[in-house]
Amino acid sequence: MSSTAGQAVVDAVGDMTYVVALGPGYGKWDGLPKQRPDPDLKAVVHSMKLLPFLRSMVRERVAGGITWRRFCWLWDHQQGSRDYIKDRFRALDSNMHEWIPTDMIKEVVAGALDHKRLNTVQDGLDWLALHHALRSPTNRVIWQVVANGVIDLGAHPGTFATVADKKPTLTAGTEDFHKKLRALYRDNKRGTATAFVELLIEMHKADASASVSSHKLIWNGVLTGLAPQLWNAPVDALFKVAPGVFARDITIAWLSDTQVESFKGVGQDFERAKGAIVPERGSAGGP
């Protein structure tokens, strides 16, 4: 290894920090150097764009010379390739939360292939269309307000930031929330994509009348069930209004007013995703 390359490694290790877990379980290293993707996979996805690449996988079990078997191997065994595909998927619509988690891309394509085999290819392609369309702005996704009788906010990492250095904060329950979303997909993947988004719409409608701690997906913004003396409690964080734009000195009451509108927006996001379940022949496909 050259002295320059060696110093690059030293610098990369020096930039790493250990993030202590906020709840049960282990922490993690932040700033790990990114592994490179498989060059053939990167070249094909760059040339075809991601969505046409995935649709070709469903139609033909091959895309630009990358077979489905090869894609699965790269996803399962090569972190750089998996991260590349996930990053490309997020880049299709940035600063958004995916209601079918991004780390399920391979699983969604596998499910689409099952639909092609058992039903029609279009049934499989509908799931790809839904996976891409089923997104909401990250600051709409607050899934927890209280825990054990005290305020303990839990939201998408793109919602709140620390005052000092604008790093994600107030993400209690992240793992459980995403486990719930993965289970929702797995429990319903044998049905149609339309039936799945209609289920989310019904869950959202039920959440409209939920108390502050009884919702199934996200908080509706209503403070029913929260002691009135807590309504004006300060929130020790910044709220991300838009990329790079933050609200300061906020309270639970302020957050309530904001979330009422955000909750309505999520319902609109679900309806819009339902409308995206159409044949996508000829689509450009994005990044």
Residue 151 has pLDDT above 70, yes or no: yes
Average pLDDT, the chain: 89
Q: Which residues 6+ apart lie within 8 Å of 227 measured at CB? A: none
pLDDT class for 287, splitting at 50, 70, 90?
Answer: low
pLDDT value for 147: 85
Task: Specify the number of domains making up the chain.
Answer: 1
Amino acid at residue number 129:
A
Mean pLDDT on 20-35:
54
Mean pLDDT on 168-194:
97
pLDDT value for 241: 95
Residue 65 lies in a domain: yes
In the chain, which residue ranges form alpha helices assigned H by DSSP? 3-14, 39-48, 50-60, 68-77, 79-91, 105-118, 121-133, 174-188, 193-207, 252-275
Model pTM score: 0.86
| 104 phi-psi bin (left φ>0, alpha ψ -120 to 50, beta other) | alpha
pLDDT value for 149: 81
Residue 284 lies in a domain: no
What is the Cα–Cα distance from 234 to 249, expressed in whole angstroms?
Answer: 7
pLDDT value for 201: 98
How many Cβ atoms are within 10 Å of 19's Cβ, its own excluded? 11
Residue 81 lies in a domain: yes
CA 28 remoteness from chain centre: 19
Residue 4 has pLDDT above 80, yes or no: no
Mean pLDDT on 41-53:
98
pLDDT value for 76: 98
The mean-pLDDT minimum among 72-81, 128-137, 143-152 falls in 143-152
Both tokens of 139, joined, read: 């600051």
Q: Which residues 6+ apart lie within 8 Å of 29 measured at CB? A: 16, 17, 18, 19
Residue pointed to by tokens 């995916």: 98
What is the Cα–Cα distance from 165 to 265, expressed in whole angstroms?
Answer: 29
Q: Report yes or no: 246 and 97 within 8 Å, Cβ to Cβ.
A: no
Residue 287 lies in a domain: no
pLDDT value for 20: 45
Both tokens of 239, joined, read: 């709220």
* Residue 81 belongs to domain spanning: 9-275
Residue 285 lies in a domain: no
Choose among 217, 221, 233: nearest CA to 259. 221
Mean pLDDT on 140-165:
94
Q: pLDDT tens-digit profile of 223-240?
A: 999 999 999 999 999 999
Residue 226 lies in a domain: yes
pLDDT value for 144: 96
pLDDT class for 42, splitting at 50, 70, 90?
Answer: very high
Q: pLDDT tens-digit profile of 236-252?
A: 999 999 999 999 999 99
Residue 12 has pLDDT above 80, yes or no: no
pLDDT value for 56: 98
The mean-pLDDT minimum among 21-35, 40-54, 120-134 falls in 21-35
pLDDT value for 17: 53
Residue 281 lies in a domain: no
pLDDT: which is higher, 80 or 278: 80
pLDDT value for 34: 76
Residue 154 lies in a domain: yes
Q: Report yes or no: 84 and 37 within 8 Å, Cβ to Cβ.
A: yes
pLDDT value for 282: 39
